[in-house]
Amino acid sequence: MDHWWQKDISGCGLSGIINWDGKRISGAVIKKSVALMHDRGNGQGGGFAAYGIYPEHKDHYALHIMFTEEPGKPTRDFDDAMKETEAYLDRALAVDLAEDIPVRVTEKVPSHPLLRRYFVKVKQGSLKGTNMTEDDYIVSAVMHINDKIDNAFVFSSGRNMGAFKGVGFPEDIADFFMLENYEGHTWTAHNRFPTNTQGWWGGAHPFTLLDWSIVHNGEISSYGINKRYLEMFGYKLALLTDTEVVTYMFDLLVRRQGLPISAACMAVAAPFWKDIDRMEESEREACEAIRMVYGPALLNGPFAILFGHGKGLIGMNDRIKLRPFIAATKGKTVYMASEESAIREICPEPKEVWAPRAGHPVVVEMGKGIV
């Protein structure tokens, strides 16, 4: 067993927008919001997740892949990594479009990996004789590339969505990826302040798996047990970041175990016993069971997270609100950010602004609004 891993620690700023009516918003808007919180990062990582940006390929899984140095793996010619990856993709999946991710090189982002995107589908017959779903199949392909192909890293794999991230301040990363050219109904943004300098593009946030993206500000003080719990279910935690743990935890609870998302939120930011003891019987019994069974899934310590999943956006705080987190609404748009100023920067007169209660998620669903 490897006990020598070193956890990656970082503080952060985050911002998110969702129009639950499906109206698409330019990437320039989220850039403006997160740029205001420039000082919450230190130039070591910025990133965005955008939903609804590929309507012309909405049935394809959009794989965003970077070919670059990877920590703990030998470095080789990135073209070789690309060729090996593309050969694998051709074997494993139906690739309908392969292209470079358009970028604008500026002095703010002096160097960057080879960045490609592939719009793929699962080949007919691939699932025959297995009990896998298409999603499971894509997850295994992503895990294969990230684990087995040196210098290739899939940083986004959902449908009609994409992650854009790198080493730099988020506003510079937005300019680099020309996000003003994308329009999405949901955006999240992240400004990173790692305590260690890693300088690895894959280490920036958001962290994504299929349609799911997580941006996160915090440090999970229970990381050790959360990691061991996930390992019991076969997850390999390669990045050693809190965000990775948060993403996999939701994947386990919601996708694999089928918990309702609100119940999963209750597992990761559990209500206190003093409150559970006062609930009416059936709710008390359910909450008690969540805490008994999912105690190792409790994310303890300071955090604010934005969890995008294609059909909505969830924002939440840890159970005693140790990190800032503000929400606001105007019309059919909901804003969530680390700082109120980052919301007012792009929505000067919100209808409602509030600080969500500790451990109580703000759940926005497409077509429904805040539920």
The structure tokens listed for 110 are 């002096």
Q: How far apart are the first and last CA of the chain?
A: 44
**What does the alpha-carbon distance between residue 341 and residue 324 come to, in Å, rounded to a whole number?**
12
320 binds other proteins (CB under 8 A): yes
Within 13 A of 15's CA, how many CA atoms are on the CB side?
30
Closer CB to other proteins, 53 or 287, in the complex = 287
295 binds other proteins (CB under 8 A): yes
Q: Is 287 a catalytic residue?
A: no
225 binds other proteins (CB under 8 A): yes
* Smallest separation, CB 50 to other proteins (Å): 29
DSSP 294-337: SGGG---SSEEEEEE-SSEEEEEE-TT--S--EEEEETTEEEEE
* Smallest separation, CB 321 to other proteins (Å): 11
72 binds other proteins (CB under 8 A): no
Closer CB to other proteins, 79 or 285, in the complex = 285
Of these, 41, 218, 308, 315, which contacts other proteins (CB under 8 A)?
A: 218
State yes or no: cis peptide before 206, omega within 30 of 0. Answer: yes
Asked if residue 60 lies in contact with residue 120, where contact means CB atoms within 8 angstroms, the answer is: yes
What 3-state DSSP class applies to 199? Answer: coil
236 binds other proteins (CB under 8 A): no
**What does the alpha-carbon distance between residue 340 and residue 210 come to, in Å, rounded to a whole number?**
30
Closer CB to other proteins, 7 or 24, in the complex = 7
**What does the alpha-carbon distance between residue 30 and residue 190 come to, in Å, rounded to a whole number?**
10
355 binds other proteins (CB under 8 A): no
Of these, 18, 81, 287, 343, which contacts other proteins (CB under 8 A)?
A: 287
286 binds other proteins (CB under 8 A): yes
Contact segment (CB under 8 A) with other proteins among 94-102, 203-211, 243-251, 315-323 equals: 315-323
13 binds other proteins (CB under 8 A): no
The structure tokens listed for 112 are 């960057």
Closer CB to other proteins, 230 or 326, in the complex = 230
Measuring CA to CA, which residue among 351, 355, 321, 318 is closest to residue 334? 351
322-331 contacts: CB < 8 A, separation 24 or more? Answer: 322/218, 323/217, 323/218, 325/355, 325/356, 326/353, 326/354, 326/355, 326/356, 327/353, 327/354, 327/355, 327/356, 327/362, 328/352, 328/353, 328/354, 329/370
Contact segment (CB under 8 A) with other proteins among 24-32, 113-121, 286-294, 340-348 equals: 286-294
Of these, 117, 185, 309, 319, which contacts other proteins (CB under 8 A)?
A: 319
DSSP state of 181: G
98 binds other proteins (CB under 8 A): no
Name residues contacting other proteins, limited to 23-52 (CB under 8 A). Answer: none
Phi-psi region of 41 (alpha: psi -120 to 50; beta: other; left: phi over 0): beta
217 binds other proteins (CB under 8 A): no
Of these, 300, 332, 340, 365, which contacts other proteins (CB under 8 A)?
A: 300
125 binds other proteins (CB under 8 A): no
131 binds other proteins (CB under 8 A): no
Q: Could you give the residue numbers annotated as active site?
A: 12
Instruction: Report the interface residues with other proteins, using CB under 8 A.
Output: 1, 3-4, 6-7, 9, 11, 195, 218-219, 221-225, 227-229, 231-233, 257-260, 262-263, 266, 270, 272-274, 282-283, 285-287, 289-296, 298, 300-302, 319-320, 322
